[in-house]
């Protein structure tokens, strides 16, 4: 009996100054980005593409490789606390920050 395995294809994309490992069907929380009118985002800065057969590494990007994703929602990340403190001078300032993020669903990896 022959068992067929699902294609293990994934890519590493760069967006918002960060790198993300993305496979089809994954949900990623990335820096806020504006989609096109269809609610889709195309990532053309693909650093690496891994499939069952081969591995392509870009210099710096893989040519003709794209990752297509659909926007699910825009949201704010959890709050981080930023503290400025100077000893012996009674100086203490506390502020908070919540980063805007976009949750995307990876639909297709084109290599």
Q: Would you say 7 and 13 are in contact if contact means Cβ atoms under 8 Å apart?
A: no
Output the DSSP codes for 20-86.
EEEETT-EEEEE-----TTSEEEE--EEEEE-SS-EEE-SSS-TT-EEEEEEEEEEEPPPEEEEEEE
- Predicted local confidence at residue 77, as pLDDT: 96
- Predicted local confidence at residue 90, as pLDDT: 95
Q: Is the model's pLDDT at 31 over the cut of 60? A: yes
Structure confidence by residue, pLDDT tens digits, 56-99 = 898 999 999 999 999 999 999 999 999 999 999 999 999 999 99
Q: Is the model's pLDDT at 3 over the cut of 50? A: no
- Predicted local confidence at residue 93, as pLDDT: 98
What is the residue extent of each domain of the chain?
A: 10-110
pTM for the complete prediction?
0.80
The rounded radius of gyration (Å) of the Cα atoms in the chain is 19
- Predicted local confidence at residue 7, as pLDDT: 59
Structure confidence by residue, pLDDT tens digits, 38-67 = 999 999 999 999 988 888 898 999 999 999
């Amino acid at each position: 009996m022959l068992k067929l395995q699902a294609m293990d294809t994934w890519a590493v994309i760069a967006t918002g100054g960060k790198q993300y490992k993305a496979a089809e069907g994954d949900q990623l929380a990335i820096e806020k980005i504006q989609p096109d009118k269809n609610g889709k985002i195309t990532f053309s800065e693909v650093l690496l593409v891994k499939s069952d057969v081969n591995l392509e590494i870009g210099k710096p990007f893989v040519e003709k490789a794209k990752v297509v994703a659909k926007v699910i929602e825009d949201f704010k990340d959890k709050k981080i606390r930023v503290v400025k403190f100077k000893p012996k001078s009674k100086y203490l300032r506390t502020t908070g920050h919540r980063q805007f993020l976009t949750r995307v669903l990876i639909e297709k990896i084109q290599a």
